[in-house]
Structure 1
Amino acid sequence: MPKSDLPFGSEFSPSQIELRTVLELAFKHAGDWKAFEDAVRETYFESNETIESNRRKLANNTKLSMIAYGIIDRNVNFTDFGRELYALRNDEKALYRALAKHILLNLNGAVLVQCVRDIQASGETVDLVKLREWLEERGIHFPRGGKHASIMRLWLEKAGVFSSGWNVDEAVFLDLIKAPVEELDVLARFTPEQRAYLKVLANLEGQGPYQSNDIEKLASETYGVQFNEKMLPKTVLYPLRDTGFIRLERGTSYHGAKPFKVFATDKLNAEVVLPMLEQVERLTGTELRPLLRKPLGEILDELKSNNTYVKGLALEALAFKLMRLIDLQYVYTRLKGNQTGGAEVDVIFEGTRLAFSRWQVQC
């Protein structure tokens, strides 16, 4: 069974425990996991009408969930993040906001929010089954029947990121991490070279200026990507500039062009950009997202377009919609519709019900 990409959260729901209380119990019993579990059991599960071993299991789940959320280690010692939460325990609003920010940046929470928005944009209703399937298509796994996503939602709701079920408050999201939800889309579209270049800049102290070729060499050595030196401005620098992450100044000399001077902008906040880059690098099929978001009616309208590029994308989107109806999973695209002017698309899907099958869809 593949490891879950969302944190385990059983018996760590805000409807079951109080965050401040379990933090205080962890502080009191630091280094003694048995005493901590006993305290959690006595506080929250002692009155449960079940056998003692089950009550102990519930308390153990709370501990495992706090480990999965990065709050404590296996011996119930606070992590750095756990100490941050403990210091905020008497300020409920700040406490919930800190946990929500951690979920969004470090526990694939931003991808979860993005996926919820995509489902809604497609005209479908969000539920746990559909959410698990859509996340799976992005390479994010959590077990069938697992409560991982719903418990994340409950904690995010405490900070106002979600309201009334799965409705996203984008203003709160922006306020928490100082970047809009759409920023994840921008980062997902970057090439490996652009991401490596951006990560090097984000890890440097100060905003520069830096010589563009020095950053290129450092990115190549650090992340193992190969750059086309002659095409660096076109393939890396200009896209990063146009998306607002860097500012460029052209250098000149009597002997020809000098490397650009590169300045990091305020938008290149390492605390936000680096964990979001880490999330998008785990994703698969980033080219799927625009297709998955489209309602069927919009797809059918675009199939009539005189614009061959639009028509080609609509043809791909139609293939996805049809295959999803019979519960097939996307693997890869052999021939894009926009490469054929909307005349043909060739996409590979797989089915895993009862027996494995692979489907090549041409339309």
Structure 2
Amino acid sequence: MGNEGSIDSSGGTGKPSLILPIANEFSPGAPKNNPVSLQIVLRIVSENSGRDAQVEAIRSHYFYNAAEKQSDPQLRRLQQKQLASNVLIGMDSFKIYDEKTEDLTDIGAHLLSLPSEFEANRSFAKHILLTLNGTEILRIIRSMEKGGRAINKTSLAEELNRYGFVTKAGGPISTSSKNHLILLSWLRKANVLPKSGYNINNDELKAIIGTSVDDADDAIALSDRQKVFASTLRRDFEINGVRDVFVKDLRALCQAQHPTVFGRTDDLRKAIINPLVMDGWITHSETKGGRSKGRGRGGASGTVSVTEKLVSLDPEYLGLADLAGIPGEVRNHLSRPITQIIEELSSDDTGVKGLALETLSVRILYELGLTPVAFRERGSENNGAEVDLIAEGADTHFHRWMVQCKNMAKVPVSALAKEIGMAVLYKAQVILIITTGEFTKTVHLHAKQLSETSSHQAILIDKFGLQIYFDEGVTGLFREMGLQARDILEWKLPQRRALVE
């Protein structure tokens, strides 16, 4: 399973953030009587110098009949110009126009130079997919489909927020916003999506960017060591083309460039090479001629080479960062029924059990309106018995949570003591411990003392609280946490009285 080294929460595909572009009136569906055409609007901007002239030209071409209900001609014209200005704002957000220079970007100029509108739409779709997180949005759509969830404007906006997407200003995406739908409408122009509905055309997608949604899913779900190995081999391809690379040499590069992640290599063939071969990322050949000529022994023997699947993949998906701190394989399991997750918590396979615990923890945090930002330990490293992570929330104020999930019969006080130390280190206000078993009496006592004597607070959810969540969903979960919150408030009353005195 995934992260085996340091934490990096910069985003699922290695991109620094997941920003949804502002579209406004830059939409192939608006205005209805004369919808925006990509190359036409690019040409209008190119042929007019300065923003004022560009706004007037766009108004004259697309919005001369807009705001018909406005009886005052001057106010009507003003509203029309605002609509035209919104087109430029959208073009700037999609990085084909630069509001500072008041001119097309290099990408915009390239799209204008293409011989047909269809080719321009396909090239624009590629730009959206690879540089504006379009592929990530398609992955989320696919995940919703697999989970049997209805996909519409509201549900998709909610899911984008869950996965860490933000507006250009950094805030959450409003469920009333149409920006995500307009982005998808540009992909529809390139036949990546149908005219209506959300059935992704994987063949068209692969023809445009060389990667299907399924390939992207597979890449994100790789462990960090597998990602390092595959990305290092891919970089060799970019320099030397297709060739056989000695495993021993590649291992040395991986260890030099990622010493923390690639510290263990005794299971190189079993944990890294064989899975990558099985999934079609690489080929592996035992080198003929004996050990000396093979440049390696045991798992480090032989050579590896890239496959078309690896070569065509957007390398961003081999980055070590995980979307909103969520490991790839956990993200791929979030859409599974809760009943299946509960079953797997009792699996004899520690890998299955650990993944189920991680998935459960992320689901609960989502239900609480929190965002996981970093996993500190992984189930595969502790027999699937626990997972530690950091989560954050921002409703009326910012708050950080230290979260530990334990799949064991009895949780000792040392678990809480560890989280208290981590809370001080990471400046967290809340400690949440969830267990499939029970807490000892000492844990409850120390949680009470923590609330009485410090600014921290501990929330404890045991197997009975989990059962309420399984039976009643988020409503039961909030009720249980509300009861504990009232206890914590009572325990902290002496602190408030001390402040008043």
For this structure pair, what is the TM-score category when the shorter chain's length is used for normalisation? 0.7 to 0.9
Residue 19 of structure 2 corresponds to 5
Whether contact under 8 Å (1:122, 1:293) holds in the other structure is yes
Whether contact under 8 Å (2:38, 2:117) holds in the other structure is no
Separation (CA, whole Å) in 1 of partners of 2:348 and 2:266: 34
The offset of 1:108, in angstroms, is 0.8
The offset of 1:354, in angstroms, is 2.7
Residue 56 of structure 1 corresponds to 81
Q: Secondary structure of 1:36's partner?
A: helix
Q: Deviations over 1:53-111 (max 9, x none)?
A: 5443432332232233233444355444334422446343x333222222212211111
Whether contact under 8 Å (2:324, 2:372) holds in the other structure is no
The offset of 1:217, in angstroms, is 6.6
Against the structure 1 CA distance between its residues 11 and 293, is the aligned structure 2 distance closer, same or farther, given a 3 Å change threshold?
A: same
Residues 158-307 of structure 1 correspond to what in structure 2 (within 5 A)? 158-163=189-194, 164-188=196-220, 189-191=222-224, 193-194=228-229, 196-212=231-247, 224-226=257-259, 233-234=268-269, 237-251=273-287, 252=289, 255=292, 257-258=294-295, 260-269=302-311, 272-277=313-318, 284-287=325-328, 288-302=330-344
Separation (CA, whole Å) in 2 of partners of 1:325 and 1:275: 29
Whether contact under 8 Å (1:71, 1:79) holds in the other structure is yes
Residues 57-136 of structure 1 correspond to what in structure 2 (within 5 A)? 57-74=82-99, 75=101, 77-88=103-114, 90-92=116-118, 94-136=119-161
Q: Secondary structure of 1:330's partner?
A: strand
- The alignment status of 1:150 with 2:189, answered yes or no, reads no
Q: Deviations over 1:12-67 (max 9, x none)?
A: 111121223112213323x6444323211221233332735544343233223223
Residue 43 of structure 2 aligns to which amino acid in structure 1?
E
The offset of 1:292, in angstroms, is 1.4
Against the structure 1 CA distance between its residues 339 and 64, is the aligned structure 2 distance closer, same or farther, given a 3 Å change threshold?
A: same
Q: 250-259 vs 320-329, which deviates more?
A: 250-259
Residue 123 of structure 1 aligns to which amino acid in structure 2?
G
Against the structure 1 CA distance between its residues 195 and 82, is the aligned structure 2 distance closer, same or farther, given a 3 Å change threshold?
A: farther
2:41 to 17, 22, 28: 22
Separation (CA, whole Å) in 2 of partners of 1:278 and 1:24: 37
Against the structure 1 CA distance between its residues 279 and 152, is the aligned structure 2 distance closer, same or farther, given a 3 Å change threshold?
A: farther
Against the structure 1 CA distance between its residues 131 and 21, is the aligned structure 2 distance closer, same or farther, given a 3 Å change threshold?
A: same
Residue 39 of structure 2 aligns to which amino acid in structure 1?
R
- The alignment status of 1:362 with 2:434, answered yes or no, reads yes
Q: Deviations over 1:293-335 (max 9, x none)?
A: 1123433454565656545544443444444334333344566
Whether contact under 8 Å (2:135, 2:213) holds in the other structure is yes
Q: Deviations over 1:206-253 (max 9, x none)?
A: 2124455665677788xx433559659546555544433333344456
The offset of 1:118, in angstroms, is 1.4
Residue 274 of structure 1 aligns to which amino acid in structure 2?
P
Whether contact under 8 Å (1:121, 1:295) holds in the other structure is no
Structure with the greater alpha carbon radius of gyration:
2
In the alignment of these two chains, the number of paired residues is: 357
Against the structure 1 CA distance between its residues 73 and 91, is the aligned structure 2 distance closer, same or farther, given a 3 Å change threshold?
A: same
Whether contact under 8 Å (2:114, 2:120) holds in the other structure is yes
Unaligned runs of 5+ in 1: none
Separation (CA, whole Å) in 2 of partners of 1:352 and 1:283: 14
The offset of 1:4, in angstroms, is 5.9
Q: Percent identity?
A: 27
Against the structure 1 CA distance between its residues 325 and 361, is the aligned structure 2 distance closer, same or farther, given a 3 Å change threshold?
A: same
Q: 50-59 vs 179-188, which deviates more?
A: 50-59
2:54 to 14, 36, 43: 36
The offset of 1:156, in angstroms, is 1.2
Separation (CA, whole Å) in 1 of partners of 2:253 and 2:349: 42
Separation (CA, whole Å) in 2 of partners of 1:279 and 1:34: 45
Separation (CA, whole Å) in 2 of partners of 1:212 and 1:67: 46
TM-score, normalising length from structure 2? 0.59
Q: Secondary structure of 1:113's partner?
A: helix
Separation (CA, whole Å) in 1 of partners of 2:157 and 2:61: 33
Q: Secondary structure of 2:165's partner?
A: coil
The offset of 1:258, in angstroms, is 1.0
Separation (CA, whole Å) in 2 of partners of 1:264 and 1:324: 38
Unaligned runs of 5+ in 2: 1-15, 31-35, 297-301, 402-430, 436-501
Whether contact under 8 Å (1:193, 1:236) holds in the other structure is no
Q: Secondary structure of 1:12's partner?
A: coil
Residue 141 of structure 1 corresponds to 166
1:317 to 348, 359, 366: 359
Whether contact under 8 Å (2:25, 2:90) holds in the other structure is yes
Against the structure 1 CA distance between its residues 282 and 232, is the aligned structure 2 distance closer, same or farther, given a 3 Å change threshold?
A: same
Separation (CA, whole Å) in 2 of partners of 1:181 and 1:3: 20
